[in-house]
Structure 1
Amino acid sequence: MLNGLDIEGNSPLHRLPVRGKLILLFTTAILLLLISDLRILAPAMALAALLYLSTGIGLGEAFRRTRFVLFTVLLVALANYLFHSLHEALVVFCRLSALVLLAAAVTATTGISAFMDEITRLITPLERFGFVRAADVSLAVGLVIRFVPEIFARYGEIADAHRARGLRVRPLTVLVPLIILTLKDADTIAMAIDARGFRRH
């Protein structure tokens, strides 16, 4: 298994408390969704990229971690260009790219256990009213963050296996086995969680 997405460092974002990072991410997301001015969105995207690189992550690794999501953002922007306008496409691209890069910066500077502990503390008041179970929510978030790099690595392994056999790498031929293997892993993890009684505490 791979480690999580966090990397060691001493950047300002590393030193910021987890709650501060979550508040920063949440507040920025709301502001970006309310703004449609490219004179603000374009610099915001550039600032998010600089913040991400300031964590100490290499340029190649930074691109590898975000390329799939940014490609999806590009497709969404292209759809907006086809059905709306170039301005709308650029707004969507800058807005979503800034959010993706900022979220990547937060996950690169925060350990999984710290994420889970903070989410548990934030959701505990809702648990008292019976709306959610804080431990279950934090466990779900931790598992998602933990296995994102594992899924990316498996995607690369399947693509390499295709190339080794002389087969053309196509999204459908890679995604189908990737989904099947991911679902098998999910079943295994669920059984391990139940065997340890986490969801009964």
Structure 2
Amino acid sequence: MLTGLDIEGDTPLHRAPARAKLVGLFVAAVGLFLVSSPFLLGAAAIVAAGLYASTGIAPREAIRRVRFVLITVLLVAAANYLFHSAADALAVLFRLSALVLLAAAVTATTTISAFMDEITLMLRPLERFGLVRAADVSLAVGLVLRFAPEILARYADIREAHRARGLPVRPLGVLVPLVILTLRDADTIALAIDARGFRR
């Protein structure tokens, strides 16, 4: 069973405080959307790729983690090329790619518990006004980070099972059992959370 998206390591990014990484990611995201030059955004994408590679993650695993998101980025860039210009398409491609790679680097070097702790602390002021429940939000984020790779792995298992049986791999034939298994796990997790009194 997968344990999460973070990987063990002793790189500078691993040693950096979780809060500093989250704030840095937010600042970088704002900065990327304020810049429109494809050259500067291309340089930012190269830096982000280098930072992601510096986490020590295996190349094949690194590509697997961001593959689907980057394909979506390519589609968005293609749409911009068709309806706007090549410069706009390159800007979108480099901007979103840099953001995806930076987020992947932060996720790979930050434990789920650290994410949950920081989210709880950041939402405490809103909790005082009765707007949110900080612990519930952090728990939801932690569950997403914990089980996202497992859902992807289960999708791959179902697809391979179809191929092993000689069945055509159709999206509906894969997604239906995936949704059923995921909902079943969600019920089990909800019961476990309530049994342990994590939510008030």
TM, length-normalised to structure 1: 0.94
Q: Greater CA deviation, 73-82 or 151-160?
A: 73-82
Aligned partners of 2:75 and 2:177: how far apart in 1? 23
Letter in 2 for 1:49: A
Residue 97 of structure 2 is aligned to residue 65 of structure 1: no
Give secondary structure in 2 for the equivalent of 1:198.
coil
Structure-to-structure mapping, 1:88-99, within 5 angstroms: 88-99=88-99
- The amino acid that maps onto 2:60 is G
For 1:71-90, list aligned pairs within 5 A.
Answer: 71-90=71-90
Post-superposition Cα deviations, 1:61-103, rounded to whole Å, max 9, x if no partner, equal: 1001111111111122122222222222211111111111100
Q: Distance in 2 between matches of 1:99 and 1:173?
A: 33
- RMSD of aligned alpha carbons: 1.3
Instruction: State the partner residue of 2:8.
Output: 8
Give the partner amino acid of 1:197. Answer: G
The aligned amino acid for 1:45 is: A
- Correspondence for 1:150: 150
Q: Paired residue for 2:164? A: 164
Q: Which runs of 5+ in 1 are unaligned?
A: none
Secondary structure of 1:199 counterpart: coil
Flag the 1:183–1:79 CA change in 2: closer, same or farther, 3 A.
farther
TM-score w.r.t. length of structure 2:
0.94
Separation in 1, partners of 2:191, 2:82: 46
- What is the deviation of 1:8? 1.1
Q: Deviations over 1:18-56 (max 9, x none)?
A: 000000100001111111111110011111111001000
**Cα gap change, 1:180 to 1:80, in 2 (>3 Å):** farther
Alignment size in residue pairs: 200
Q: Percent identity?
A: 72
Separation of aligned partners in 2, 1:165 and 1:98: 40
Q: Quick check: 1:46 aligned with 2:41? A: no
**Structure 1 partner of 2:136:** 136
